[in-house]
Each structure stands twice: as structure tokens, then as C-alpha cells.
Amino acid sequence: MTWYNEGVFVIFLPNLFGEFAMSNQYDYDVLVLGGGPGGYVAAIRAAQLGLKTAVVEKEHLGGVCLNWGCIPTKALIRNADIVHLLARGKEFGFKFDNLQLDYTVAVKRSRQVSSRLVKGVGFLMKKNKIDVIQGSGALTGPHTLNVDGKQVSAAHIILATGASPALLPGLTADGTRILTYRHAIVQKDLPKRLVIVGAGPIGMEFAYVYNAYGVEVTVVEMLPHILPNEDPEVAAVVAKAFRKYGVKLLAATRTEAIEVVDAGVRINVVNLETGKKEQLEAEQVLMAIGVKPNSRDIGLEAAGVQTNERGWVTVNETMQTNVPHIFAIGDLNGKMPLAHVASAQGIVAAETIAGVQSAPLDDYSNMPRCTYCHPQVASIGLTEAQAREAGYDIKVGKFPFQANGKALGLGEREGFIKLIMDAKYHEILGVHMVGPEVTELLPELSLARMLELTPEEIGRNVHAHPTLSETIMEAAHAALGHAIHM
């Protein structure tokens, strides 16, 4: 049976599916397949709620995010930021003639950062008395998994197997000429020339890092502008900065073929607006066109779990699949393939299993989106075009960082904050930011949107001076037609 501690009371809670969560019939109350940011968070929350929990992980706790994605890339980006700053020595009053850059040190530091956090997750597993079963797992029935020949059972199962890099049809990533982010994150020897296919966050972040260390980078994007999921004005600011760095950007350009040759790779592309064809040559190509779900070979058929035509596992707002005691979280369900979304979904799944109050997720527009290149990009909600297409009469408040004292002091004047509100009710429909440390400014606005605050309330909230956050306050005033400093 499940017990839940609330203050000094002990409350008996049956779970939502008509059976007690704790049962001698199974090895565990909750078995999580996959130890990434969705899986390990779900396991911790389940354990906190008194459920006997285990995590099956075939490789490393922390998943792609901690080992091959979010965390090590941010460490590399920090190195790239310092390199860019050193190039601005004259502006800040210093100079030197013998600057030497060692990219191998940057990679080593990124691995150390990753390793430290992975060890921290291992500690959390022990702290919360969660069993970690090392091995490759697959469902063999509604309540059972086979983990490298060993059968494990659970009353409830959370699938958190994530996703893998998508590739063009017929293309194989060899880690030498054709790379994915997993190859690039540990590569110590940099190519002289690199083509990146895909100008989303992964592509643009690697372009920023490699360019900082002297690689000749070309980015190819099939959609009309780089960062295609972001506001076009935001993307334009990033494009201008990257061209200034020397990165070649080819938007509205489709990659038709990639061929490995003696000197590296040959990439055939075509401009979708003009029809002009071009052949690019480089030592390597990095594929960053998105991800595909790791839904094959995990036994979904044996348990009767349904997927859609693209392989994403279908779930409801509490992450339940069509089999009520089996849940799917994170990249596997395709709702929004971001680490923080996976963690939020994991908490909802665990709380639903335990039968405690939770916050089901049915609106992903409030989920933050971030790109950590320079300048940074952060957003929530609808763009101007999306808001108008949805039928809203909108007002837009926009304030540039070049009018912000802290930004000028930092020497970071590029970018702006744009706030989109419904003209009638002043509901915040979307926020789009590009500029210095904007990823750190987003929580105020996502919280405001969740609590249904208006620009009036944001504008009346006194922001410390001088801070970058004042730009939020000014954008709120601007949406109402009375920006103070513009």
C-alpha cells in the first residue's frame, strides 16, 4: 500500500487505477526505463512519494542532456564566450600578441562538468533508495521488462528512452566525416571547414563554438530563416551577429545529397527560392536536423502501447499511454523534445501514479525555449504571426538592450525584448528575447504568463537598477504605449 506523509499526518492513498500502488505481486511499484532528465526526475519524485522505485539505464545516468547535450555544450559555449571577449581586447583596454587557444582543454573541461553532474545523479539515486539496474531493457508484457536477460516486474512503468539524432534518408553517421551532436561534443581535433545541416538550437550552438576556435563554418537551413521556430526578428539579430563572426548562413536551402570523398565531404544544396544549386566542400558535416524517438526495440508491441505514424508514443495530459499503468515522458512522446519538459512530465507521471495532486500538462506554449549561442535567444508562447493567425487582436511592446544601462556597461547592446499581448484583455500571448543572458530573464515572464499577470502588473513591479531585467519592465510599458526610456 502507498503511504504519503503530509505534515504530521500519514494518509493512506490508493492509486488512480483501482489497485494499491504497493503490491507484493511485483518487484517494484514504479520502474523507469531510461535515466535521463525525465527518467531520473520521475524516479526521485516517485520515491519521495513512498513508492518502491527502480531505474533501468543502458548507458549513463543523466541521459543525453548531462552526458552529450545540454550540459557539456554549455561548458563549451562558456569557452567560446571567453574567446570572443578576448577578441574585443581593444574595446576593454587590453592587448597581447601571443594568444594561444587549446580546444582540447575546452573539451576536457566540458567532460569534467558533465561527469560531476552525472555523479550527482548517482548520489540522488542512493539518497532516495532508488535501485539502478544497469542494462538494456525492453517490455515483455504489460508489467514486465527484460533487462539483459533478467526479468523485472512493476505495477507501473514509465518509459523515458528519449530520442536519437535524425539523419537524411540513406545517410549513416560515421563519427569521422558525418557527425551528430554526440560525436561533435567529444571531438578534440577541429576541422578547418565544417558544414552544419540544420539551424535550430543544436546547429547554431555548435556553429558558435566551432567558429570561435577558427573553424570555417557554413550552416544550411531548409526553412526561410535560421532558428525557424523563433520570431523572425529575433532570428535576424542572431543572423547578423553570426555573419559578423564570419559564419556563412544559407537559409531556404535544402540539402539534396551528402557524399564522403577523399578530402572530406561534398554537400549538394539548392536554394528553394531561386533554384540555384551549389556544391559545398568541407572536412566534416554535422547533422542537426532534429530527433527521432527511441521507440523501436523497447517492446511496445508486447505491452500493447500505441505510437503515432512517426513512432512517438501517444500520451494524455498526465503522460499515460493507452495502457493506463504505462506512462511515456520526454522526447519519447514528442510533445516538446527539451530536457526541462521531460523533467516536468516525469513529475506529473510520478504524482499521477501515487494518486496525489498534480498539474497535468496540456498546454506546452508556456514551456520556455532557449538557444545559448551569442546573442542568446529565449521565448515562450506565440509569435506575432502565430497570434494573428489564431485570431487575436494584438499589441506589441518592444525594448532594445542598447537603451539599457547594464547591457551597455557589459558591452552587450545587441538585441531586444518583445512582449505580445491580447489587445482586449491584455493577456500575455508570447515573449521573444534576444540579447545578453536572456535565458536567465525568461522565468519572470513564464511565471507571469502562468499566473495570468498582465503587462500593467509587470510594469508596476519595481525592477532593480541597473539590471538587464529592466528591459522586461520597459517592454511591458511599451506594450501599453508608454515606454519610459524610449
Q: Tell me which amino acid residue 394 is.
A: I
Residue 430's pLDDT is 97
Number of domains in the chain: 3
Q: What is the pLDDT of residues 301-342, one digit of tens each?
A: 999 999 999 999 999 999 999 999 999 999 999 999 999 999
Model confidence at 200, in pLDDT bands (50, 70, 90)? very high
What integer is the mean pLDDT of 365-372?
Answer: 94
Give yes or no: residues 156 and 266 share one domain: no
Per-residue pLDDT for 136 more than 80? yes
Does pLDDT of 11 surpass 60?
Answer: no
94 found inside a domain: no
Residue 93 forms part of a structural domain: no
- 160 and 132 together in one domain: yes
Specify if 440 maps to a domain.
Answer: yes
Percent of the chain residues past pLDDT 90, beyond the cut: 92
Classify strands 131-134 and 53-57 as parallel, antiparallel or unpaired: parallel
Residue 98, in any domain of the structure: no
Choose one of 364, 383, 400: the last residue of a domain. 364
Q: CA Rg, the chain, in Å?
A: 24
Whether 186 and 280 map to the same domain: the answer is yes
Grade residue 22 by pLDDT with cuts at 50, 70 and 90.
Answer: low
Residues 113 and 154 in one domain: yes
Cβ 154 vs Cβ 24: under 8 Å: no
Confidence of residue 98 (pLDDT cuts 50, 70, 90): confident
Q: What is the 3-state secondary structure (H, E, C) of the chain?
A: CCEEEECCEEEECCCCCCCCCCCCCCCEEEEEECCCCCHHHHHHHHHHCCCCEEEEECCCCCHHHHHHCHHHHHHHHHHHHHHHHHCCHHHHCCCCCCCCCCHHHHHHHHHHHHHHHHHHHHHHHHHCCCEEEECCEEEEECCEEEECCEEEEEEEEEECCCEEECCCCCCCCCCCCEECHHHHCCCCCCCCEEEEECCCHHHHHHHHHHHHCCCEEEEECCCCCCCCCCCHHHHHHHHHHHHHHCCEEECCEEEEEEEEECCEEEEEEEECCCCCEEEEEECEEEECCCEEECCCCCCHHHHCCCECCCCCECCCCCCECCCCCEEECHHHHCCCCCHHHHHHHHHHHHHHHHCCCCCCCCCHHHCCEEECCCCEEEEEECCHHHHHHCCCCEEEEEEEHHHCHHHHHHCCCCCEEEEEEECCCCCEEEEEEEECCHHHCHHHHHHHHHCCCCHHHHHHCCCCCCCCCHHHHHHHHHHCCCCCCC
Within this chain, do residues 50 and 154 fall inside the same structural domain, yes or no? yes
Chain mean pLDDT for the chain = 93
Tell me: do 55 and 132 sit in the same domain: yes
The catalytic position among 465, 477, 482, 485 is: 465
Residues 63 and 39: beta-carbon distance below 8 Å: yes
pLDDT tens digits for range 262-312: 989 999 999 999 999 999 999 999 999 999 999 999 999 999 999 999 999
Residue 5 has pLDDT above 70, yes or no: no
CA-based torsion, 110, 111, 112, 118: positive or negative: positive
pLDDT at 362 over 80: yes
365 vs 369, residue with greater confidence:
369
Strand-pair partners of 269? 255, 278
| Residue 242 domain flag | yes
Residues 402 and 451 in one domain: yes
Q: Please, is 207 exposed, middle or buried when counting C-beta atoms within 10 Å of its C-beta (0-12, 13-18, 19+)?
A: buried
Kindly state whether residues 42 and 122 are assigned to the same domain.
yes
Establish whether 143 is a catalytic residue: no
- Residue 197, pLDDT above cutoff 80: yes
Q: What is the pLDDT of residue 269?
A: 98
100-118, pLDDT tens digit by residue?
999 999 999 999 999 999 9
Residue 383 clears pLDDT 70, i.e. is over it: yes
Q: Are residues 308 and 284 in the same domain?
A: no
CATH number at residue 454: 3.30.390.30
Q: Are residues 234 and 357 located together in one domain of the fold? A: no
Residues 13 and 124 in one domain: yes
- For residue 12, the model assigns a pLDDT of 35
What is the arithmetic mean of pLDDT over 389-417?
97
Residue 486 within any structural domain of the chain: no
Residue 83 inside a domain? The answer is no
User: CATH number for the domain including 203?
Assistant: 3.50.50.60
Res 230 pLDDT > 60: yes
- Is there a domain that residue 88 lies in? no
Looking at 289, 316, 342, the residue that finishes a domain is 289
Domain that holds residue 252: 178-289
| The pLDDT of residue 17 | 43
Report how far residue 406's alpha carbon sits from residue 469's, in angstroms, rounded to the nearest whole number: 9
Same-domain check for residues 184 and 329: no
Residue 7: its pLDDT value, please? Answer: 36
The residue among 364, 391, 408 that closes a domain is: 364
33 band by pLDDT with thresholds 50, 70 and 90: very high
Query: pTM for the complete prediction?
Result: 0.92
Q: Whole-angstrom Cα distance, residue 252 to residue 270?
A: 9
